[in-house]
Amino acid sequence: MQLWPAVFSRLEEGKFKNDLAQLSEKEVGLLRAIAREDHEESSPAPFAQNFPHIYFTRLAERGLLIRAGRGRYKLYHPLFRQFLQRRE
């Protein structure tokens, strides 16, 4: 169906690019690193060397990460993950 590529393109141009525009380079780097992971949920531990835990907290406050449980975070939407993977 041709509708979904158009919807994704619209989200990409409006919502997703706008989400990233308000972030620091390091915050965008963390989101991209999470998007590369094979797991839906991520723990801050594997990223701790490059990204302090405060980045997870800030991104969750902005609604770009969802706190899925104690020490577990995930990107707020699967299409956002796809966008980050494509923009690598």
Where in the chain are the domains?
Answer: 3-86
CA distance 45 to 72: 10
Specify the pLDDT at position 55: 96
pLDDT bin (cut points 50, 70, 90) of residue 1 is low
What digits encode the pLDDT tens for the residues 19-62? 999 999 999 999 999 999 988 999 999 999 999 999 999 999 99
* pLDDT (average), residues 76-82: 91
Q: Do 72 and 43 contact (CB within 8 A), yes or no? A: yes
Q: Binning pLDDT at 50, 70 and 90, where does residue 10 land?
A: confident
Quick one: pLDDT at residue 3?
A: 67
Topology at the third CATH level for domain 3-86: Arc Repressor Mutant, subunit A (1.10.10)
Query: What is the C-alpha to C-alpha distance for residues 80 and 15, in angstroms, rounded to an integer?
Result: 9
- What was the pLDDT predicted at 86? 85
> pTM for the whole thing?
0.86
